[in-house]
């Protein structure tokens, strides 16, 4: 992506590096949570512990499907210029649907008697899902920022903007898949 404007190239490089550093930081935070969970799990004499015996499975599965679909719609948003607005709406709607499913998951956890105050494992489930949901909110804000350009300044939609928002959105999808497998499947 060479231009005749060295100042713009430097700014683009700074933006790419900034997003990479942010993703590494978020990745380290989630890796720390994963490590803590593995340590608790490896030191547990029985698995699953009684505190999560009634762990709801439907909402995490639906959340995984919605997150995968949102990654797909974002991919299409990047590639299909003609239908970019449609894929932006679809990605936003799926991101909001993910948050609604997380809200329902927390209600189902509560109804099953699985509370954050019931021990290490339940508190870790809440910590994972709360932190991930907070990042989804940040992802939706970046999508709204991108939407400003898509709807009001289409000529200002650059590959860099699409790529940086996409990196973050797809990162959240990968983290959720790992969380789903670790917390609800394995």
Domains of the chain: 17-43+53-185 (1.20.120.80)
pLDDT for res 5: 77
Q: What is the pLDDT of residues 46-77, one digit of tens each?
A: 888 888 988 999 999 999 999 999 999 999 99
C-alpha 91/C-alpha 74 separation (Å) is 6
Q: What is the pLDDT of residues 83-107, one digit of tens each?
A: 999 999 999 999 999 999 999 999 9
pLDDT exceeds 70 at position 174: yes
Instruction: State the first-to-last Cα distance of the chain, in angstroms, to the nearest integer.
Output: 43
Residue 172: which of 95, 86, 103 has the closest Cα? 95
Ordered alpha helix ranges (H), 80-119: 84-111
Q: Global pTM?
A: 0.90
Residue 77: which of 126, 28, 147, 7 has the closest Cα? 147
Measured in whole angstroms, how far is the alpha carbon of residue 151 from the centre of its chain?
Answer: 24
Residue predicted with more confidence, 119 or 2? 119
C-alpha 75/C-alpha 98 separation (Å) is 17
> Are 172 and 67 in contact, with CB atoms under 8 Å apart?
yes
Q: Which residues contact 141 (CB under 8 A, 6 or more apart)?
A: none
For the chain, what is the mean pLDDT? 93
Among all chains, which residue has been given the structure tokens 């404007």?
Answer: 5
């Amino acid at each position: 992506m060479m231009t005749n404007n060295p100042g713009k190239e430097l700014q683009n490089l700074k933006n790419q590096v900034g997003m990479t550093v942010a993703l590494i930081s978020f990745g380290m935070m989630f890796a720390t949570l994963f490590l803590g969970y593995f340590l608790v799990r490896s030191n547990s004499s029985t698995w699953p512990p009684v505190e999560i015996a009634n762990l709801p499975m439907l909402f995490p599965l639906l959340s995984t499907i919605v997150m995968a679909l949102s990654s797909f719609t974002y991919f299409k948003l990047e590639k299909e210029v003609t239908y970019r607005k449609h894929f932006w709406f679809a990605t936003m709607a799926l991101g909001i649907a993910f948050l609604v499913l997380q809200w329902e998951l927390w209600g189902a956890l509560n109804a099953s008697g699985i509370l954050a105050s019931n021990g290490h494992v339940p508190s870790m489930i809440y910590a994972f899902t709360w932190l991930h949901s907070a990042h989804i909110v940040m992802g939706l804000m970046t999508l709204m920022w991108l939407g400003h350009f898509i709807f009001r300044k289409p000529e200002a939609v650059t590959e860099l903007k699409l790529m940086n928002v996409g990196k973050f959105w797809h990162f959240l999808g990968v983290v959720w898949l790992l969380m789903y497998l670790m917390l609800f499947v394995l």
